[in-house]
């Protein structure tokens, strides 16, 4: 029977493979029904990676907003 196994390097799953138990044991792979690349592995437990969202872009300055307003006003006037 084949199962999913994590290939662990330095405590991190770098890949997942489908293999039979004997071959996986020979390779030193660890059975992982749910884990995937990027998960950490320590003391027999897999932990999902923490996803940190990127920081929000800085708010535009008053000068930048005024420049946008002036550009839009010019476009509106050109339509009239």
Whole-number pLDDT of residue 24: 96
C-alpha to C-alpha distance for 45 and 11, rounded to whole angstroms: 10
pLDDT at 7 over 90: yes
C-alpha count within 13 angstroms, C-beta hemisphere, residue 9: 5
**0.85 exceeded by pTM:** no
Beta-carbon count within 10 A of 13 CB:
23
| Residue in 66, 46, 43 with CA at minimum distance from that of residue 4 | 46
| Residue in 51, 20, 13, 10 with CA at minimum distance from that of residue 34 | 13
The token duo for 8 is: 């662990």
Model pLDDT for residues 19-68, shown as the tens digit of each residue: 999 999 999 999 999 999 999 999 999 999 999 999 999 999 999 999 99
């Amino acid at each position: 029977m084949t199962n999913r196994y994590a290939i662990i390097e330095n405590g991190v799953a770098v890949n997942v493979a489908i293999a039979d138990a004997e071959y996986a044991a020979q390779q030193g792979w660890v059975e992982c029904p749910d884990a995937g690349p990027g998960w950490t592995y320590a003391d027999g437990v897999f932990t999902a990676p923490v996803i940190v969202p990127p920081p929000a872009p800085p708010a535009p300055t008053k000068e930048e907003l005024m420049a946008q307003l002036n550009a839009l006003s010019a476009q509106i006037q050109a339509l009239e």
